[in-house]
Amino acid sequence: MNAPLPVEVLKQHLIDPEICIRCNTCEETCPVDAITHDANNYVVDPDVCNGCMACVPPCPTGSIDNWRLVVRAEAYTVQEQFGWEELPQEKSLPLAAGASSAAVDAAGASQVASAGMAAMPAPPVTPPTPGATVPPWSAAHPYVNLYTHKTPITATVVGNYRVTGADTESDIHHIVLDFGEQLFPVLEGQSIGILPPGTDAQGRPHHARQYSLASPRDGERAGYNNLSLTVKRVTQDHGGAAAHGVCSNYLCDLARNDTVQVIGPFGHTFLMPNHPRANLIMICTGTGSAPMRAMTERSRRLLGAADVGKLMLFFGARTERELPYFGPLMKLPRDFIDINLALSREPGQPKRYVQDLIRERAEPVRQLLSDRNTCIYVCGLKGMEVGVLDALRDVVVQSGEDWSILHDALRREGRLHFETY
Ligand code: FAD
């Protein structure tokens, strides 16, 4: 009798379109460029993915962590995945005569590691992201994905006002959402998804946009079941051409008592430490100030009741009037938070960026970096990552220490976090 032909099985990596919030983290993280997207979905190219898992921990929703055993020749193509509204059901594999399903499963698992790896270059040795993919050891346990695209929660707008100067181009709003009697537990550093009403050019419902919390875990107003967001109205695309941001304009135009559809919460790593005397270095631009506001306010509310560590803030904007929450920020006591403002277009002043101020304040930054109770948070424009890392490295190297050793420790111990968009 002829022996059955072997079936090449692939454990195919897929992204769940119903949970994915299109935040681009996976595409940025993938070391072999296997992840791409169109206006509808984020997808994984089965011919490129080597199963290295680098994209899995940073995904804020877990939508990235989906796998299907398929016959390799019948793997779902990128084009097929672009059209999905939901993941396909698991297919039963055509068993080669004489093979047990256990044998095929085992083959499938090993194919990812062996056949996939053989065809692809090995993943790079350098970490795919400059920040940690684990939370600080003492962070509180976050809830994620309690509400999804299929089961959103309705929140009511109880406040919406501008927090940048009315005469500036930068229209940033502080928006307060109330959840009434419904459960919506959050932590500082987490984000939520907003489902804007209406449909896109293809007639499909708009996908969710993500917004960082600007309020601490016990509410914008302590003890109330509400939270706040810091939303910038998008009127130009990244290249400066006129554009009408779907969700940011929707949010900035909301009135009191309007309702919004919310999903989430998201994020399980960009979380603040929960132990006494933990220090925070916070580095942000624009709406990247939202999680810093949440963490600062959490620390402020703990004053007197807990042993709060040092807070150091580097905050960049073009001018003071474009700096969200400028007034309330400047009223915080200087022995509570060390505030450093980097203004790049303030008339009569030299241009300064956050990385310039980090270098200027090298000594206190170095002291904090040498304390294992210090966590660093960077949030704002994508372009700031490299500049901030270079500045931190310079501070450390100047004092005769090895940046690569410290950088590895900061990542491993969940003490260096980036959220840029
Ligand atoms: P879209 O309709 O999606 O885009 C319109 C056009 O503008 C497109 O060409 C697009 O490329 C471009 N564009 C999109 N975003 C920007 C931008 N920021 N600047 C310039 N051009 C842009 N935003 C906040 O305002 N506050 C937050 O706290 C916040 N937190 C975020 C946290 C995370 C983890 C992530 C991934 C994003 C966050 N964002 C935040 C960005 C937010 O999710 C939206 O991308 C942003 O509001 C634009 O959405 P939109 O629907 O208005 O624009």
Instruction: Please write the tens of the pLDDT for every residue from 379-389.
Output: 999 889 999 99
pLDDT for 402: 96
- Residue 233 Cα to ligand 1 midpoint, Å, equals 9
Report d(CA 301, CA 293) in Å as an integer. 12
pLDDT computed for residue 120 by the predictor: 41
- The CATH number of the domain holding residue 406 is 3.40.50.80
What is the distance in A from the centroid of ligand 1 to the CA of 14? 25
Nearest CA to ligand 1 atom 30: 211
Task: Indicate whether 207 belongs to any domain.
Answer: yes
What is the Cα–Cα distance from 83 to 80, expressed in whole angstroms?
6
* Same domain for 405 and 303: yes
CA distance 276 to 6: 59
Amino acid at 350: P
Q: Are 296 and 364 in the same domain? A: yes
Q: Is the pLDDT of residue 111 over 60?
A: no
Sorting pLDDT into bands at 50, 70 and 90, what band is 219? very high
Residue 374 in tokens: 């210090």
Q: Write down which residue in 266, 290, 306 finishes a domain.
A: 266
| Same structural domain, 212 and 241 | yes
Report the CATH number at residue 190.
2.40.30.10
Final residue in a domain of this structure, among 99, 118, 137:
118
Q: Does the residue 235 lie in any domain? A: yes
Q: Read off the amino acid at residue 310.
A: K
Distance 231 CA to ligand 1 centre (A): 9
Helix extents (H) in 120-235: none
Tell me, yes or no, whether 283 and 260 share the same domain: no
Same domain, 402 and 284: yes
In ligand 1, the atom with minimum distance to the C-alpha of 250 is: 52
Q: Is 43 exposed, middle or buried (0-12, 13-18, 19+ CB in 10 A)?
A: buried
pLDDT at 341 over 80: yes
Q: Which residues line ligand 1 (CB under 6 A)?
A: 23, 191, 209-212, 230-232, 234, 237-238, 243, 245-248, 287, 290, 419, 421
Question: Both 329 and 412 in a single domain?
Answer: yes
Burial class (CB in 10 A: 0-12, 13-18, 19+), 32: middle
Comparison of pLDDT for 97 and 414, the residue scoring more:
414
CATH of the domain at 35: 3.30.70.20
Residue 62 sits in the same domain as residue 113: yes
Whose C-alpha lies nearest to ligand 1, atom 24? 231
Q: Which of 176, 211, 233 has the most ligand 1 atoms within 8 A of CB, as the residue to mutate?
A: 211
Tell whether 226 and 336 lie within a shared domain. no
For ligand 1, atom 26, the nearest C-alpha belongs to: 231
Residue 130 lies in a domain: no
- Pairing verdict, β 191-195 and 209-212: antiparallel
Q: Given pLDDT bands bounded at 50, 70 and 90, which one contains residue 119?
A: very low
Q: Which pLDDT does position 5 carry in this prediction?
A: 65
Q: What is the pLDDT of residue 95?
A: 56
d(CA 415, CA 320): 29
How far is residue 268's CA from residue 22's CA, in Å, rounded to a whole number?
A: 17
Report the separation in Å between the CA atom of 246 and the middle of ligand 1, taken as the mean of its atom positions.
Answer: 9
Give the chain's mean pLDDT. 89
Checking if the pLDDT of 409 tops 50, the result is yes
Same domain, 235 and 159: yes
Domain count across the chain: 3
Q: 144 in a domain, yes or no?
A: no
Q: Please determine, for residue 14, whether its predicted confidence score (pLDDT) is greater than 70.
A: yes
- The answer to whether residue 127 is domain-embedded is no
Take atom 9 of ligand 1 and give the residue whose Cα is closest: 237
Q: Is residue 145 part of a domain?
A: no
CB 352 within 8 A of CB 344: yes
Task: pLDDT band for 356, please (50, 70, 90 cuts).
Answer: very high
Query: Ligand 1: which of 209, 236, 260 to mutate, judged by most atoms within 8 Å of the beta carbon?
Result: 209
Pick from 22, 234, 263 the residue to mutate for probing ligand 1's pocket: most ligand atoms within 8 Å of its CB: 234
Q: Does residue 109 sit in the same domain as residue 164?
A: no
Q: Which residues of 201-218 are buried (b: 16+ CB within 10 A; e: fewer)?
A: eeeeeebbbbbbbbbbbe
Tell me how many degrees the CA angle 101-106-107 measures, rounded to the nearest 5. Answer: 95
- Tell me the residue type at 323: L
Closest ligand 1 atom to residue 234 Cα is 52
Is 292 inside any structural domain? yes
124 occurs within a structural domain: no
Query: Residue 355: which of 284, 296, 291 has the closest Cα?
Result: 284
Same structural domain, 336 and 404: yes
Answer whether residue 103 shows pLDDT above 80.
Answer: no
Angle between helices 403-412 and 384-398 in degrees, nearest 10: 120
Residues 196 and 100 in one domain: no
pLDDT value at residue 106: 31
Which amino acid makes up residue 54?
Answer: A
The sheet carrying 337-343 orders its strands as: 337-343, 311-317, 279-285, 374-380, 416-420
Question: Mind listing the pLDDT tens digit for each residue in 17-49?
Answer: 988 888 888 898 888 999 999 988 999 999 999
pTM of the model as a whole: 0.84
Residue 62 neighbours by CB under 8 Å, 6+ apart: 19, 144, 145
Report the pLDDT value the prediction gives residue 203, as an integer from 0 to 100.
86
Q: Domain end: 266, 287, 303, which one?
A: 266
- Residue 222 structural domain: 153-266
